[in-house]
Amino acid sequence: MIATRPLRVLLAHPGIDETGARREFPPWGVIFVGQALARSGHVVQVVDWNGEPALETALDRQVIDFRPDILGVTGKWGRAARRAERLFRHAAAHHPAVRRVLGGPLAATLPANATIAALVNAVLPGDGETTLLRWMAAGMPNLRDASPAQDADLGACCLDPAPLFDLRPYVRPAERSDLDVPTLFVSGSRGCVARCSFCYTLAHAPSGLREMPAPLLAHGLRGLYQRYGVTGFYFVDDGLVSRARWRRDFCQELRALDVPLLWGVDLRTAEATSATLGELWQGGCRALYMGFETADDAAHRGMLRKGPTAGGVGGALQRAMAMGFRVRASVVIGWPGESRTAIERTLAAVQAQPGLLVDAFRYNPLPNTPLAAASAPQFGPQHVYTEYGADAPNLSDCSDAYIQSAWERLLALANARNAVAATTLT
Ligand code: B12
Ligand code: SF4
């Protein structure tokens, strides 16, 4: 997989903030892609443009200083899509010799009519480490319908990207991680074991979960502790601890380390048995992100295809909180055909769990996901700009006015909860 000559590749995360340059989440996607390209002899520059107001000027500067052959950008729905589009539009108009590539979650869920699709030479879904190298080796052709690559060697990922990228600005007192120690957000896997009908992972990583080898990951965390003094890690992964054997190995590796590390991770409610929770706790896990989605357990098993949860979804959250985990849950209203009664039940269920931190969402139909198969094609070329919030289309059985008021109540609840939690952090 070697291109004819070393190429110069500028890899950018466009970020989501228009100003502020906040450094909270390292752009792991382009970091790992950059590592793979560098290992293959290419010359790489990785930039995080979160909070950069003058994206176009920043790109001009990189083109003059770094002289890239390729501009690769991580694509995600919402503000990130808008910012990626700005970069591609400017590059196409002012630096047409630079080949333009869109990767990341947006590449797997990109509507064919999206404005951004016409501004790039290639759309590469799945693992960028392999898909980008293959595209380069093929002579950088125009390419739209690539199938998602799922063959990156996760044993070659390195959690410390120095000197390619500096993680120091991302070590923070962890407002979002819910760990009370200096924390880094890290990534240790790809894909997910589950098949939820509304989720991008089916399109992005259809073959399921792949983890970094447990000893390598534990060793990587120890290295980050040594270099940056971080004692907390939050995994941004979708399903890192789903497989029992890997989870056991990882927890064992962490217990065997000579440094006390705390960590947090996403956990499916269906997996939150007392035994699994106990195992995670023993391994130093203290914070969990769980998909509550709706209080309607039948919808969980049916429409959402999330599988059965022992004692119901609310029961799983309670179990985890009772053991001492700090739990944050994604709560979604506006599911297709959802009734007012169902939404009120969800709001009441969240209200009834005072210790629960809440991420509030409105359902947004993503193309290439089973639940959106019927609805997604009807939206226009700007659909990729929608957040899972106030501007999401209303596919429920309720009026726009009711959805708006329910959304405001959910947001108020989430903000109040999360503000209280933030003040408890040291
Ligand atoms: C951290 C995170 C955030 C952070 C900020 C991220 C940032 N730095 O800007 C916060 C909390 C702010 C956030 C917010 C939102 N997020 Co978010 N977030 C994530 C999360 C958890 C981790 C991203 C990550 O680092 N992954 C690890 C790396 C290794 O994976 P990766 O980025 O996919 O990269 C690989 C490939 O995609 C590819 N690749 C990546 N970049 C490139 C570039 C090129 C050129 C190529 C070829 C390949 C390539 O190669 C990489 C290595 O294999 C993901 C879920 C996830 N696990 O990925 C969701 C996710 C990206 N978020 C998502 C969404 C929807 C949102 C929101 C819109 C939700 C909302 N409130 O409405 C908001 C708004 C964000 C926005 N408008 O951009 C969706 C995106 C769906 C989609 N199809 O676009 C995801 C996938 C979650 C989900 N399950 O739905 N998010
Ligand atoms: S468990 Fe989460 S990441 Fe996995 S398929 Fe379901 S919603 Fe997606």
Q: Are residues 90 and 221 in the same domain?
A: no
Q: Are residues 180 and 121 in the same domain?
A: no
Question: How far does the chain reach from its first CA to its final CA, in angstroms?
Answer: 48
CA atoms within 13 A on the CB side of 290: 30
Pocket of ligand 2 contains residue 129 by CB under 6 Å: no
Pocket of ligand 2 contains residue 199 by CB under 6 Å: yes
**pLDDT at residue 37, as a whole number:** 97
Task: Give the Cα-Cα-Cα angle 166, 172, 176 (nearest 5 degrees).
Answer: 120
Nearest CA to ligand 1 atom 45: 72
Which of 137, 156, 186 is the last residue in one of the domains? 137
Q: Which two tokens stand for residue 17?
A: 């903030």
The number of the ligand nearest the C-alpha atom of 47 reads 1
Nearest CA to ligand 2 atom 1: 194
Q: Report the alpha-carbon distance of residue 231 to residue 264 in Å, rounded.
A: 12
Ligand 1 centre to CA of 125 (Å) is 13
Domain annotation covers residue 21: yes
CA atoms within 13 A on the CB side of 209: 20
What CATH number does residue 219 fall under?
A: 3.20.20.70
- Which of 8, 23, 76 has the most ligand 1 atoms within 8 A of CB, as the residue to mutate? 76
Ligand 1 environment, Cβ below 6 A = 13, 15-16, 25, 27-30, 32-33, 50, 72-74, 76-80, 101, 103-106, 109, 124, 127-129, 131-132, 152, 187, 190, 199-200, 236-238, 366, 387-389
Q: Are residues 222 and 101 in the same domain?
A: no
What DSSP state is assigned to residue 13? E
SS3 label, residue 172: strand
Ligand 1 centre to CA of 75 (Å) is 8
What are the start-end ranges of the H helices in 236-362? 244-256, 274-282, 297-301, 312-322, 340-351
**pLDDT at residue 420, as a whole number:** 65
CB 38 within 8 A of CB 164: yes
Q: Report the alpha-carbon distance of residue 366 to residue 111 in Å, rounded.
A: 8
Per-residue pLDDT of the chain (426 residues; tens, 9 = 90+): 444 689 999 999 999 999 997 788 999 999 999 999 999 999 999 999 999 999 999 999 999 999 999 999 999 999 999 999 999 999 999 999 999 999 999 999 999 999 999 999 999 999 999 999 999 999 999 999 999 999 999 999 999 999 999 999 999 775 666 788 889 999 999 999 999 999 999 999 999 999 999 999 999 999 999 999 999 999 999 889 999 999 999 999 999 998 989 999 999 999 999 999 999 999 999 999 999 999 999 999 999 999 999 999 999 999 999 999 999 999 999 999 999 999 999 999 999 999 999 999 999 999 999 999 888 888 999 999 999 999 999 999 999 999 999 999 999 999 998 876 654 433
User: Distances from the Cα of 326 to the Cαs of 155, 318, 381, in angstroms?
Assistant: 30, 11, 40
Q: Are residues 324 and 209 in the same domain?
A: yes
230: number of Cβ within 10 Å = 23
What CATH number does residue 104 fall under?
A: 3.40.50.280
Name residue 395's amino acid. Answer: L
**pLDDT at residue 424, as a whole number:** 45
Q: Are residues 187 and 115 in the same domain?
A: no
Ligand 1 centre to CA of 205 (Å) is 13
Its pTM stands at 0.96
Which of 137, 154, 187 is the last residue in one of the domains? 137
Ligand 1 centre to CA of 104 (Å) is 7
Q: Report the alpha-carbon distance of residue 326 to residue 209 in Å, rounded.
A: 25
- Domain region containing 272: 171-424
Q: Are residues 234 and 363 in the same domain?
A: yes
Domain annotation covers residue 158: no
Q: Are residues 89 and 185 in the same domain?
A: no
Q: Report the alpha-carbon distance of residue 322 to residue 222 in Å, rounded.
A: 29
Q: Which two tokens stand for residue 228?
A: 């940056």
Domain annotation covers residue 67: yes
Q: Are residues 114 and 217 in the same domain?
A: no
Q: Are residues 175 and 117 in the same domain?
A: no
Number of domains into which the chain is organized: 2
**pLDDT at residue 367, as a whole number:** 94
**pLDDT at residue 24, as a whole number:** 86
**pLDDT at residue 425, as a whole number:** 39
Query: Helices 128-137 & 28-39, crossing angle to 10 degrees?
Result: 50
Q: Report the alpha-carbon distance of residue 408 to residue 360 in Å, rounded.
A: 10
User: How do the residues of the chain divide into helix, strand and coil, expressed in percent and rounded to 5?
Assistant: 40, 15, 45
Q: Are residues 291 and 383 in the same domain?
A: yes
Q: Residue 190: CB partners within 8 Å, gap ≥ 6? A: 127, 150, 152, 154, 205, 209, 210, 237
DSSP secondary structure of 207-240: T--EE--HHHHHHHHHHHHHHH---EEEE--SST
Domain annotation covers residue 237: yes
Q: Are residues 238 and 124 in the same domain?
A: no
CB 353 within 8 A of CB 346: no
